[in-house]
Structure 1
Amino acid sequence: MSNEMMKNWSDYKPSKTLWLWSAVGAAGLTMIVGFTAGGWMTSGTAAERTEASTELAVATLAANICSNRFLAAPDAHAKLAALKETDSWKQDSFIEEGGWVTFANMEKPISGAAELCANRLVAATPPAADSGA
């Protein structure tokens, strides 16, 4: 029986329609696997992810500068205590209103930086109080 099966297989001639649909199916399956599990993405998705990553990097840099400026201020101990007493959902507004995330020649604060800065400051160790001069 195996000889008969081999003969039938070697004699099989698929039609052009079958070849076409096989190629279409293979291409479709390849794309489904590629976009779901293979990490493929459209150029629009890549651009969106790049933009989001860039905004996060800028906000992180601004938050680092903000926290350093905040802690270097002469009244840092009092301001940090006030920040920690502020409700958590208002802490980013406290930072924005203080001007710590609005840099030279900017009209608005850097998006996302105030929240990152506030989180860093709340977790920071308070600076040593001035011993007086």
Structure 2
Amino acid sequence: MMGTVSWRTFPGLSRRTPTQARHWVHQELNSWDVCIPEIETAELIVAELASNAVRHAPGPTVRVVLVRTSSTLTVTVTDRGGLAGRKLGFVNLEAGLEAESGRGLFLVGLSSARWSWYYTQTGTAVWAQIDADRRP
């Protein structure tokens, strides 16, 4: 089955990008008639991934891509922060309760059916897939 695809590019150097991306994901998925729990999960995922992109790979842009099929919803966040000194795939399982950071990818992993990452020519793409469920 063919799916639905949508994307948007946000400023890579703005602290507002995670919030803007989360609002855009909410509006876009609501227009696709996706049920509220999946919208909320996608919002959490995009906020975490966009926050990581802005904080750890500051570049000119952050692109968010949504892909909906009959059984899955995939959220991909791609930064343009370059490749120098990049480390990804590290999930801090020992972040204390008082820690202000260190649990983003752990939350993405808990919230999604699967997630992974890959390098692009100009940065890194991180994706997470959740089970899709239409509203009745």
Shared fold, TM over 0.5: no
TM-score by length of 1: 0.30
Structure having the larger proportion of residues in helix: 1
Q: Looking at both structures, which has the greater relative contact order when contacts are Cα pairs under 8 Å and sequence separation is at least 6?
A: 2
